[in-house]
Amino acid sequence: GAVVSQHPSRVICKSGTSVKIECRSLDFQATTMFWYRQFPKKSLMLMATSNEGSKATYEQGVEKDKFLINHASLTLSTLTVTSAHPEDSSFYICSASYRGRNYEQYFGPGTRLTVT
Amino acid sequence: KQEVTQIPAALSVPEGENLVLNCSFTDSAIYNLQWFRQDPGKGLTSLLLIQSSQREQTSGRLNASLDKSSGRSTLYIAASQPGDSATYLCAVRSGANSKLTFGKGITLSVRP
């Protein structure tokens, strides 16, 4: 149990366009969803935390107008990278937690974004 | 501010060896600690979660220990196999549903 999916797994887009990444908890209702970014050979960097129906809480240095997060339901959160630039190319990973498992975080498989 | 350190950054061992991966954290006031595995280009798989009140957790060939007062955790892998080759990440949480603070990971290579 506790499976988290992400879609798409890979996406290539042109500079200036926007791209949306979906994160779904498949077999549980997530209390909270988290969005991370990972650079090559670096640790995961938390971008934002979101609870269903409320605004996301962004970490310091993360532009909320550039990385739009919508948490429409207990099983779905989306991250939209707006006006993408090559420096936004990265590996984006979401996770979901719920109270029933001591808030253990379950991670999605990640999305590789390449901006050309 | 919590900081998590994992040293060394990389480790190579022959198949069959028992090994220990270390993790240290600066603030001992944690809620729990998780060990994850990450394969190249993939997401994270949770291996073990230790609550702050626990000393260790076991799953198959894996055993994780926690010494909260000294700010340390270890992941013990018994009888290592080439399939264990991956990056192992340690992360701590300060509150019940707070964010995870990650170490940079240890990239393990198990040679056949």
Which bin fits B105, alpha (ψ -120 to 50), beta or left (φ > 0)?
Answer: left
Which of helix, strand or coil describes residue A113? Answer: strand
Measured from the Cβ of residue B31, the count of other Cβ atoms closer than 10 Å reads 16
Encode chain B (112 residues) as per-residue pLDDT tens digits: 899 999 999 999 999 999 999 999 999 999 999 999 999 888 999 999 999 999 999 999 999 999 999 999 999 999 999 999 999 999 999 888 788 999 999 999 999 9
Q: Which two tokens stand for residue A89?
A: 């190319």
Contact A107 B105 (CB under 8 A): no
Q: State pLDDT tens for residues A46-89.
A: 999 998 778 899 999 999 999 999 988 889 999 999 999 999 99
CB-nearest to A34 from B41, B99, B104 is B99
Q: State pLDDT tens for residues A8-57.
A: 999 999 999 999 999 999 988 888 999 999 987 778 899 999 987 788 99
Note whether B49 contacts A: Cβ–Cβ < 8 A. Answer: yes
Contact B102 A43 (CB under 8 A): yes
- Of the candidates A66, A91, A105, A86, the residue with the CA atom closest to the CA atom of residue B99: A105
Contact B45 A34 (CB under 8 A): no
Distance from the Cα of B19 to chain A's closest Cα (Å) equals: 22
Contact A93 B45 (CB under 8 A): no
Tell me the chain A residues in contact with residue B93 when contact means C-beta distances shorter than 8 Å. 103
